[in-house]
Amino acid sequence: MDYNYTRRYYPSLDYAESSEKSGKEVMSKGSSGMEVILASLENSRDVQTTLNIMYILSELLTVGRGRRVGVFVSKGGTGILFQILISASQELPPSEELMLQVHSLLAKVGLKDRKFGVKARLSGALNVTINVMKQNIQNTKLLLPCLQVLRVYATNSVNAISLGKDGVVELMFKIVGPYSKKNTSLFKVALDALGALLKSKTNARRAVDSGHVSVLLALYLDWHRNDTRHRCMLIRKGLLVCLRNITNIKLGRKAFLEADGMRVLYNSSTECLPVRTLDPLVNTSSLIMRKCFPKNRLPLPTIKSAFHFQLPHVPPGGPVAQLYTQPPGVDDVVDESDNEEAETDTENDEDDKDQCNLNDDIETDLSKLHPKRTIGRPFEELKDYQNFFSELSEDFQGYNFEFSKSPSTTSSPYLFSSSSARFSRPVVVPTAQSPSPKQIPDSQDVCTSVKEHQTLPSPSLTSSQTPLDLDTIHISKDKDKKEDINIPTPARHTAPTSFSGSLSQGQMIEQELSHPLECLSLEDKGNQKAEAGSEKVKHEGSPVNNLRHIQSPLLLGGFPIRRAGGGGSNVGSDCGSEGTEDEGGEGAVLEVPDTAQLLPLHDPDLYVEMVKGTQSVPQYAEVAYPDYFGHVAPMFKEPLLERIYGVQRSKIFQDIERLIHPNDILDKVVYDIDHPSPVIEENGESLKFNSQFESGNLRKAVQVRKYEYDLVLNADINSNHYHQWFYFEVSGMRVGVMYRFNIINCEKSNSQFNYGMQVLMYSVQEAISGRPRWVRTGTDICYYKNHFARSSIATGGQKGKSYYTLTFSISFSHKDDVCYFAYHYPYTYSTLKMHLSKLEAMRTPQIYLRQDVLCETLSGNTCPLLTITAMPESKSSDHICQFRNRPLIFLSARVHPGETNASWVMKGTLEFLMGTSPLAVSLREAYIFKIVPMLNPDGVVNGNHRCSLSGEDLNRQWQNPSPELHPTIYHTKSLLQYLAYIQRAPLVFCDYHGHSRKKNVFMYGCSVKETVWQSSISTTSSDLQEDLGYRTLPKILSQIAPAFSMASSSFVVERSKESTARVVVWREIGVKRSYTMESTLCGCDQGKYKGLQIGTRELEEMGAQFCVALLRLKRLTGLRNHQHLLDLESDIIGTQSKPVSSCTTTYVLEEDEPSFLEAIDYSAESNDEDAEPESDICGEVHENFDQLSDSENNHRD
């Protein structure tokens, strides 16, 4: 460039030079140099002068990068360039060099100007650029900058529609062509512009109508075959992006399939797999194929649960009413939602996009943020609940304190014990629902008349609900054993389980398990006479002493066993079986060590008895081996599973192969509870499945390949969704074969299975060998959106949704094993009853323990209520007064059946409370504990994940629970309301839960100040006055419990949670320390257990540490100043919630995981980079589809 020439024509430039300003200074925001240059450019009427100024600008903007471009835009430079472009187009003929320079500058500044597209449309520049391109389609030099500007134009959706109407889409297809080493830059920019244009559904439909889908496939295949050195990967990627955008509409997907696009992309991707640098091509191809994979229906007759429970009444307009009032003949598995896809664009969608408030779920009503005791019920309705609080008026005058100091623990009248009468239900204390003054004993009678009530028949058994007739089981024991050998005694269990085992303890456990302990065999005596139905003791010799012999499978007599698909097959000779199962139903006999002496709260015999009194909707007649044998936590660490590079992609390709090679698919149903008796050949070619036992959940198993099975979970009863919890049995496996299991109807959009979590497996063979335990297992685990369509009936009206697949692979170690798989460590309702019975045997005379029946559930199961504290030291008025006036702690758990970890935490709490350690003694002396260990027994029994038999989430019913439909919530809330009336509201309320998408253990609480800080509420200082004591307990836990994370905790009140236990107890009962304690289902990413999956030992330890924290809280509440434990502002700053880019209605804390693992979206409705996330995803981060790779592992390999 001739700088002297420029200077001659523009003396004003001497100003900048004479001031010795560099180019950087000229372009700085505070300088007038930019205005001088732009003013000169705007006022120039000479083409050459204009060009020279543009040369200078081009050099400055190229060197100055983004900041200088920003200054240029802010000074109105874009508008001046558009004016010059319009003026130049009016010259005949227009200056080619001027057009080239103007478009080059526009391409540089376009991406920095947010209003670039609007300015171009309003100024008329769109048509100018189109005309220049049409007239110079062979002029590569001028065409390239025009395409670069067009690429920016097209990012505005309104411009894209306008350009499409003017034939620009067709023009692009004239520019792009087959493989060539020339003009590759031009092809790349043209494909980028075409890809941007095809984001418009109107343009995509126009391309489909013109037959361009097959053209794009042919071009891609040509470039794929000829670009052997992979130097043109960006062009190949550009072609795939065009295909990706076209297939966002149904017509595009149909055209893609008709053009055999699945096979083309599958074969080309398979060839690209060995080259790591081609991962973006493979992943984009995979994305397209997943979208275009035809939506399949789940292989079910209906998405409603396979089991139905008749409710006492169905609330009109509720979920159950909607479920069962559908017109006959309606297919609720799939609908025609994909056919109703909107394929037109709005003219103003660019400027009128919804900008939803990221934290719009935060409560902003200050009147709701200040808790006020609004009990809402008259005391007359609540006074009957005093029967559950006899400890508050007990005078102990009939109690012999001297006698209680003796070693015997069976003499105390203040112990509710069912261990000596295991065949009866606990005594039922009348509630407000059925008051009867004659049946309500006074506070003394409640304790002294227990033995009289223990022999009463169960009040829950009605004429329409008969108990399982399990008495046809014949129990035989060694003749040298006493009949009452299984009755727990204090000498046998005197201390709770230790939570921190050493290596020596592990060796002791292995040694004890290797010793045979006791002999017992369960034989099916269903063909005996009716009068032989009661349990008998048979004395006969046994060739093997101290071994437990059990029939396989465990049948709980007299009921016809539903063996769909041959599930629950017998254990073969390798399991120590004797004989084979015959037509009479007698199974093999297993010899397994008795774990009762190793697990203080477990007794197999007692468990069977508890199962007999458990009511289930399917009338289960089997006991799962893991629940019978028990679980001894392994002593070894189980680290989070390291994700293998490309595992998700490989699984997706295997799914795509089903469409490419349909003849390889068996599609053989091997288990189906909807059709209980399919004929399965006993040829050993198929696995056998079973889930017909307490807490079991597996609806259907389909063998798709020789060693691959699709599994379908059952919906919660009286519901058509909530598929997450699973628990099923597998048998008939081969050793050394890698089996793949796909659970194909999961619903959550993400899972910790993508972040190191494994499924749990229990091997009967391992149990026989002395290792009865659940272990984390499975390889190639991933969780992704699949091609099975979700009906809008199950998604609340949202259309076009898909299910998700959890896939894992496993190789079995033992021939003819029987293995169980579960979502998390199972903890059944019968297990709870057994544990409570055993806890009573652990009681010492110094412990006040009472177990009441709070109420009965819909199906007739009892909901236990525990009261635990320390006995007063004597009958003196001072000791009695201290006893009665202890503050109350109210704990609950397992409102969601699938959150079994909550029960394990509760088990740890109960064992600690019943322990003999000095801390446990001090804790009992400090508080009275009221505990509801299982709020949803029916859901637990029937294998639900979220709901009760009412088909509703019980933790969303606390505001207005129904005594008929939500009895456990109704009566639990009534207990708290009664306490509020008598001015004895609990010091702490805590509801134990499990969390499926976060790591660690953490708490949710309620705080006015922290809620206000996270919102835009205008408040005064008086509105923010708040006792900071709500942070004390979680702060203590963060200091003493290794699994607890204060950083993951939140004290924000959300609108969507206003009907949960935590918020209702805080707001209506006035408990400022009202919490939900969430325990991870996966593992920890901080502290002592960082990098490890969580187990029952850690969960029970958490329950014990919660007790220790309560003891420390008691000591701190007596101190006026414990601000050092709070550090409110610094803690909140450290855990500040970050805004999440989504239009969701749920406030979420910052995710504890990276935004994506493999950045692949599997939705069929939208897959472009700026697509809105699904509305049901809470806090999901946008996935960057330009980084389609296994990015979480890019640092490896």
Q: How far apart are CA 561 and CA 621, in angstroms?
A: 7
Is 391 annotated as catalytic?
no
Placement of tokens 């070894």 in the chain: 636
Burial of 623 (0-12, 13-18, 19+ CB in 10 A): buried
Other C-beta atoms closer than 10 Å to the C-beta of 343 total 14
**Long-range CB contacts (within 8 A, 24+) of 402-410:** 404/845, 404/846, 404/871, 405/845, 406/845, 407/490, 408/490, 408/845, 409/490, 409/841, 409/843, 409/844, 409/845, 410/490
Strands (E), 767-911: 774-777, 779-789, 802-811, 818-822, 847-856, 862-870, 888-893
In order of 440, 550, 561, 905, the CA distances from 577 in angstroms are 53, 9, 21, 36
Can you name the residues that pair with 539 across neighbouring β-strands? 477
735 vs 1071: CA distance, rounded Å: 56
Question: Cα separation of 342 and 849, whole Å?
Answer: 64
Sequential DSSP letters for 720-780: S------EEEEES--TT-EEEEEEEEE--S--GGGTT--EEEEEHHHHHTT---EEEE-EE
First-to-final CA distance of the chain: 50
DSSP string, 607-653: HHHHHHT---TT---B--HHHHH-----SS--BPPPPPTTHHHHHHH
State the burial class of residue 36 (Cβ atoms within 10 Å of its Cβ: 0-12, 13-18, 19+): middle
For residue 980, the one-letter residue type is A
Contact 171, 215 (CB under 8 A): no
* Nearest one of 13, 27, 22 to 73, comparing CA atoms: 27
Q: Please tell me the distance from the alpha carbon of residue 653 to that of residue 667, in angstroms, as a whole number.
A: 18
| Secondary structure class of 521 (helix, strand, coil) | strand
The DSSP letter of residue 789 is E
> What is the sign, positive or negative, of the torsion defined by CA atoms of 149, 150, 151, 153?
positive
**Residue 671 half-sphere exposure, CB side, CA atoms within 13 Å?**
28
Distance in angstroms (rounded) separating the CA atoms of residues 125 and 130: 9
Q: In the chain, what is the greatest distance between 2 CA atoms, to the nearest angstrom?
A: 122
Structural tokens at position 587: 């199974």
CB 869 within 8 A of CB 928: yes
Q: Name the DSSP class of 697.
A: B
Tell me the one-letter amino acid at 869.
Answer: T
How far apart, in whole angstroms, are the C-alpha atoms of residue 1132 and residue 76? 43
Q: Which of 586, 1078, 1098, 1101 is catalytic?
A: 1078
Tokens linked to 161: 């529609």
Residue closest to 627 by CA, chosen among 695, 677, 572: 695
Contacts of 1183 (CB under 8 A, 6+ apart): 1155, 1156, 1159, 1160, 1161
Active site positions, annotated: 1078
